[in-house]
Amino acid sequence: MKSLAFATIEELRLLLDRKEVTAAELVAFYAQRFAKYDPSIGSALELFDTDSILKNSSELGELAGIPGILKDNICQTGRIASCGSKMLANYRSNYDATVTARLKDAGALIIGRANMDEFAMGSSNEYSAFKKCYNPWNLECVSGGSSGGSVAAVAAGLIPWSLGSETGGSVRLPAAFCGVVGIKPTYGLISRYGLVAYASSLDQIGVCTRTVEDNARVLSVIAGQDPKDSSSLNVLKQNFLTNLKQPLPKKLRIGLIENILAAEGLDPEVKSAVDAVVNFYESQGVEIKRISLPTLDYAAATYFIISRAEAASNLARFDGVRYGLRNKAATTLNDMYKMSRHDGFGDEVRLRILIGNYVLSEGHAGQFYVNAKKIQNMMRQEFVNAFKDVDLLITPSQAMPAFKVGAFDNNKLQMDLQDYFTCFANLAGVPAMTVPCGFSKSGLPIGFQLVGPHLSEALMYQVAYQYEQAHDWHKMHPENLL
């Protein structure tokens, strides 16, 4: 059964179809791997019992019998959705998120809840109220966040696929840190119904897998319009596998964003790994164009303001009245609000709520929030213009390889700057994915990022697949987990 650990969905599908393995055996197999390895990784907050897993899903469909795990801010009927927070530690959802329902209809087996930074706020999974999540390639390093659990479980061969969520890079950054494929699709391609909100205008569910093909497979199941989410796009359901293996389109133009590549703080090993990717595409006849997107220099600051502003407003609902933790010692209504919120939220979340209220407050909103929204609009326009000249863009996915646990405990700015290469895609609403492209000398994974115009996921997968198949990165796994 060892080879199952890093098997692709397609390989598992064949084994299931030939009846060489049953769905129950697969669930038991992954449960054993979690039992063996997850105490030192910390990717799961809960694993469900096998019977309840099997009875919740259809036996037919594209993902029939294929186990996966969901970030703990995606609702599953009857299950806790803690969002990595004490506030919701005992909150049980009474409905399925649209993605959960679609996965179950497609036969996927959802085996548990994945660890995350509290309310998806963080870049390292160190802000989970329950436990940290460590990098399977080096347990002294962070997994990345905020979808650290979803990603580490896939990288460690504990599960073949997972869903995370993205507001500023929370699938792509950990995926790059852990050496797997992660996508944040076009805003509105996947329903947000049943995803607990952080910053709704940026939030989007994303997919994490070890291969490009697996990623396309899972996205095909969950993408598509949903009347329950007013921001969901009116697009037909699409099969992202259809053109996946086609050769690169003729006359493909890929852009390099000069000002992004010149960013201060970009690790030289990351830079040279991404340069090698560009050389690969050039050798395949792709035209490489250098462009500049000046507003991206302000992306991290813009993201900082908009995400905090929306978080302050979204998290106002956790007041001890309707959901989650309530402080029982309070004697007045006001104290109950204050004490419940104080007890329920961790430091980072509290800080963001304070900043969010500040940037929205009278007298300051013009300087902060209104300006940030103006820059966001300019950024969107810059992308529209850029995609008249190029089909896709390539950038690094990360400023540096995964850092040591605790490295930025006293340097919040460095922690926030981890979003630099990812958050602009959320601000512009465009799709972006990270694909493994090498390792640092110290053995930590590096990823490159493809960014495309709205709804270009099929092209992105096709282009990523050609790179992946010409390299062996996706066949490499942490040695201590084989």
SS (H, E, C) 401-437: CCCECCCCCCCHHHHHHHHCCCHHHHHHCCCEEEEEE
Q: Binding of ligand GLN at residue 174 (CB under 6 A)?
A: no
Nearer to ligand GLN, 48 or 119 (CB): 119
Selected from 68, 84, 122, 438, the binder of ligand GLN by CB under 6 A is 122
Binds ligand GLN by CB under 6 A, chosen from 85, 115, 146, 215:
146
Choice between 123 and 302, CB closer to ligand GLN: 123
Contact 396, 421 (CB under 8 A): yes
Distance of CA 389 to the CA centre of its chain: 28
Of 168, 436, 452, 478, the residue at the interface with ligand GLN (CB under 6 A) is 168
- Per DSSP, 199 falls in state S
CA gap 407, 397 in Å, rounded: 20
123 is an interface residue for ligand GLN by CB under 6 A = yes
Is residue 382 involved in binding ligand GLN (CB under 6 A)? no
Q: Does 429 bind ligand GLN (CB under 6 A)?
A: no
Nearer Cβ to ligand GLN (176/458): 176
Minimal CB distance residue for ligand GLN:
170
Q: Does 356 bind ligand GLN (CB under 6 A)?
A: no
Q: Which is nearer to ligand GLN, 106 or 312 (CB)?
A: 312
Q: Work out whether 419 is an interface residue with ligand GLN (CB under 6 A).
A: yes
Within 288-327, the residues that bind ligand GLN by CB under 6 A are 307
**If binding is defined by CB under 6 A, does position 167 make contact with ligand GLN?**
yes
When asked if residue 43 is in the footprint of ligand GLN (CB under 6 A), the reply is no
Q: Is 182 in the site for ligand GLN (CB under 6 A)?
A: no
Alpha helices, H only, 19-111 = 23-41, 50-55, 98-105
Does residue number 166 form part of the binding site for ligand GLN (CB under 6 A)? yes
Which range in 43-51, 118-126, 212-220, 474-482 contacts ligand GLN by CB under 6 A?
Answer: 118-126
- Please, are residues 452 and 469 in contact by the beta-carbon 8 Å criterion? no
Instruction: Yes or no: say if 24 and 49 are a contact pair by the CB < 8 Å rule.
Output: no
By CB under 6 A, which span of 15-23, 150-158, 167-175, 336-344 interacts with ligand GLN? Answer: 167-175
Q: How far is the CB of 371 from ligand GLN (least distance, A)?
A: 19
- Give, for 11, the enclosing helix (H) or strand (E): helix 9-17
Give the number of other CB atoms < 10 A from CB of residue 480: 12
Question: What angle (nearest 5°) sits at the alpha carbon of residue 460, between those of residues 467 and 112?
Answer: 95
Is residue 363 within 8 Å of residue 225, measured between CB atoms? no
In eight-state DSSP terms, residue 196 is P
Minimum distance of ligand GLN from residue 397's CB (angstroms): 13
CA distance 152 to 137: 9
Q: How far is the CB of 334 from ligand GLN (least distance, A)?
A: 29
Q: Which stretch binds ligand GLN (CB under 6 A): 74-82, 164-172, 276-284, 363-371?
A: 164-172
Q: Cβ(209)–Cβ(160) under 8 Å?
A: yes
Q: Which residue, 229 or 310, is less far from ligand GLN as judged by CB? A: 310
DSSP state letters, 292-313:
--GGGGGHHHHHHHHHHHHHHH
Q: Does 126 bind ligand GLN (CB under 6 A)?
A: no
How many residues bind to ligand GLN according to rule CB under 6 A?
A: 13
Contact call for residues 41 and 138 (beta carbons, < 8 A): no
Tell me: does residue 179 bind ligand GLN (CB under 6 A): no
Structure tokens at 452: 């495309």
Judge contact between 124 and 148, C-beta under 8 A: yes
Do residues 73 and 196 make contact, with C-beta atoms less than 8 angstroms apart? yes
Query: Which spans in 122-233 are helix H?
Result: 148-155, 172-178, 212-222
The minimum distance between CB 308 and ligand GLN, in angstroms, equals 9
Footprint of ligand GLN on 198-217 (CB under 6 A) = 198
Q: How far apart are CA 214 and CA 143, in angstroms?
A: 21
Closest listed residue to residue 342, CA positions, set 64, 19, 28, 85: 85
* Smaller CB separation from ligand GLN, 198 or 465: 198
Residue number with CB closer to ligand GLN (168 or 179): 168
Known catalytic residues are: 71, 146, 170
Q: Does 120 bind ligand GLN (CB under 6 A)?
A: yes
Residue 41 engages ligand GLN in binding (rule: CB under 6 A): no
- Choose between 359 and 390: whose C-beta lies nearer to ligand GLN: 359
| Residue ranges in contact with ligand GLN by CB under 6 A | 120-123, 146, 166-170, 198, 307, 419
